Chain A
């Protein structure tokens, strides 16, 4: 063995200090007192039913143990099988989950911008089938907003402590709210990944946990959010619970790359219902937001608004992230540095233009042969096909450069697209 290895091993294994029993008790005493005192002075979250948590934890452990036993049984019966994760049963297992907490870290790389200059975004999301969704968003470690969504109670609110504002989204039915909540639900993401074509990545270790992974690629992976995306799902061998989801997406033909990591999953954790009740201080000002429907009409309106903003140009791509980036760039061109204080214009543009991205994402997800030509068609090409998709058997719907729309047969479409 090399000398350096010996030195490293010596420090790793032989340099150890242990607290004596009295020191251990001495510090612990002060630590517990400090916690007790802080509870008296600072209002903390409601004490959870620890016993129930422990019981649930035991249930999880039992379930995990059962999974291990099943896997062991599989290995004995099928000795040539190398898979450690019961992939087939994963979706079913995830569906039975009552709650989950996870962290989402987002990093953005932009061409021409040194790494570290783009903001670090971190999200802590809490999902409960009973109470709804709470999403805490931090930008550069500062709380940016807390979003509360509860389809059963018709609650969809975003609270922004930095601006002392809150936005209440109205005009959505419980079913629509449920769909919105599902967008970021890791359970839905896992289900989606398992339903698409994936390849096995084999085994690895994440934070000391033995995992096995799968990988999916393509624009559909993140439901049309990116032009191209890769997602990897890592599942713990033994418990069959996901421990990490990695997503990499391309925006604007590679001008921007976004990587997202979902980890720190806590499945079936007991959650305090109070977490899901919007906490809005009385001095916060409100804003009602009517989210437009997602359909052909709102999509055309969105294209129209974008073209107005850009003097006739349409978005280069309808992938949601690219669209958001283009809207932000156009508004920055228009307002310059004042964009920072033009929050209302920005929010309004985003909420009215994004539906075309959502519409396109729906078409892609439904495999309706959607093709968009915004990179080459502008308002100056009134007869060129801007967006088309298959409406029904043998019938294609087309939106042209002048934003008129019509139905055409496959042969007619071929002529139009020449």
Chain B
């Protein structure tokens, strides 16, 4: 119904889709990029692009996964763009920016920050699989399609990713 109304140009539907998926997409992007400013850019661009796409937008498929896929693709673009840029002095700075005014930026708990920093140390493809499966609630076969790999490769990446996370966090989580 929401999708249909959005396709018909309803502002209210777009607003409700935005409210429904904003934090979901922000969490995914933060987990993929570990940078509040870049995450805001990605989420902003995905929603703006989505808002413009009403005419071409197809009612079929899951809107949640459509948006998650869009976020993942844009996060990859950001990572690629960053790799092309010359190294900057501030690269060792904490990437989750903390603002004096929490209303301005991203709100998170200390535990989220600790987990996210561990996730950020995973190789990009493993990170994508772990994040999209656990936070994006995507099925392995959907992730396999997104990464253009076999489901076994995806399962392997997931397993390696979790093992690495466990070793990074030194079992702190597993009490």
Taking the complex as formed, is B44 at the interface, i.e. its CB lies under 8 A from any CB of chain A? yes
Taking the complex as formed, is A53 at the interface, i.e. its CB lies under 8 A from any CB of chain B? yes
CA distance A8 to B18 in the complex (A): 27
> How many A-B contacts at CB < 8 Å in the complex?
166
Q: List, in ascending order, chain B residues with CB within 8 A of A105's CB.
A: 60
CA distance A101 to B59 in the complex (A): 9
CA distance A6 to B14 in the complex (A): 36
Stretch at the interface among A13-21, A160-168, A312-320: A13-21
Q: List, in ascending order, chain B residues with CB within 8 A of A264's CB.
A: 59-61
Bin chain A's interface residue count. Answer: 35 or more
CA distance A32 to B6 in the complex (A): 12
Taking the complex as formed, is B30 at the interface, i.e. its CB lies under 8 A from any CB of chain A? yes
A48 engages B8 (CB within 8 Å): yes
Taking the complex as formed, is A338 at the interface, i.e. its CB lies under 8 A from any CB of chain B? no
Q: List, in ascending order, chain A residues with CB within 8 A of B165's CB.
A: 7, 11
B27 engages A16 (CB within 8 Å): yes
Interface residues of A in 62-89 (CB under 8 A from B): none
Q: List, in ascending order, chain B residues with CB within 8 A of A11's CB.
A: 115, 119, 130, 134-135, 165
CA distance A266 to B165 in the complex (A): 42
Interface string of B150-174 (1 = CB under 8 A from A): 0000000000001001100101011
Interface string of B66-86 (1 = CB under 8 A from A): 000000000000000000000
CA distance A30 to B22 in the complex (A): 14
Q: List, in ascending order, chain A residues with CB within 8 A of B62's CB.
A: 207
Taking the complex as formed, is A12 at the interface, i.e. its CB lies under 8 A from any CB of chain B? yes
CA distance A69 to B4 in the complex (A): 29
A24 engages B22 (CB within 8 Å): yes
CA distance A19 to B44 in the complex (A): 12
Of A4, A19, A31, which one neighbours B107 at CB under 8 angstroms? A19
Interface string of B84-114 (1 = CB under 8 A from A): 0000000000000001011111111101100
CA distance A7 to B48 in the complex (A): 34
A18 engages B108 (CB within 8 Å): yes
A269 engages B4 (CB within 8 Å): yes
Of B44, B54, B173, which one neighbours A35 at CB under 8 angstroms? B54
Q: List, in ascending order, chain A residues with CB within 8 A of B47's CB.
A: 27, 30-31
Q: List, in ascending order, chain A residues with CB within 8 A of B102's CB.
A: 20
Q: List, in ascending order, chain A residues with CB within 8 A of B23's CB.
A: 16-19
CA distance A103 to B58 in the complex (A): 10
B27 engages A50 (CB within 8 Å): no
CA distance A103 to B169 in the complex (A): 44
Q: List, in ascending order, chain B residues with CB within 8 A of A28's CB.
A: 15, 18
Bin chain B's interface residue count. Answer: 35 or more
CA distance A18 to B112 in the complex (A): 11
Q: List, in ascending order, chain A residues with CB within 8 A of B12's CB.
A: 50
Interface string of B47-58 (1 = CB under 8 A from A): 111111011001
With A32-B14, A42-B55, A50-B10 as given contacts, are A101 and B22 in contact (CB-CB < 8 Å)? no
B174 engages A12 (CB within 8 Å): no
- Which residue from chain B places its CB closest to the CB of A38 in the assembled complex? B52
Q: List, in ascending order, chain A residues with CB within 8 A of B134's CB.
A: 8, 11-12, 15
Taking the complex as formed, is B26 at the interface, i.e. its CB lies under 8 A from any CB of chain A? yes
Taking the complex as formed, is B20 at the interface, i.e. its CB lies under 8 A from any CB of chain A? no
Taking the complex as formed, is A272 at the interface, i.e. its CB lies under 8 A from any CB of chain B? yes
Q: List, in ascending order, chain A residues with CB within 8 A of B31's CB.
A: 15
A34 engages B52 (CB within 8 Å): yes
CA distance A8 to B60 in the complex (A): 30
Q: List, in ascending order, chain B residues with CB within 8 A of A26's CB.
A: 44
Interface string of A309-336 (1 = CB under 8 A from B): 0000000000000000000000000000
- Which residue from chain A places its CB closest to the CB of B7 in the assembled complex? A45
- Residue ranges of A at the interface with B (Cβ–Cβ < 8 Å): 3-4, 6-8, 10-12, 14-24, 26-28, 30-32, 34-39, 42-48, 50, 53, 57, 101, 103, 105, 122, 124, 138, 207, 264, 266, 269, 272
7 A-B pairs within 8 Å (CB atoms) are namely A11-B115, A11-B134, A18-B108, A19-B23, A27-B43, A48-B10, A266-B4
Q: When A and B form their complex, which 10 residue pairs have the shortest distance between CB atoms, in order from nearest?
A: A103-B60, A35-B51, A34-B51, A38-B52, A20-B103, A3-B174, A18-B107, A6-B174, A21-B103, A34-B48
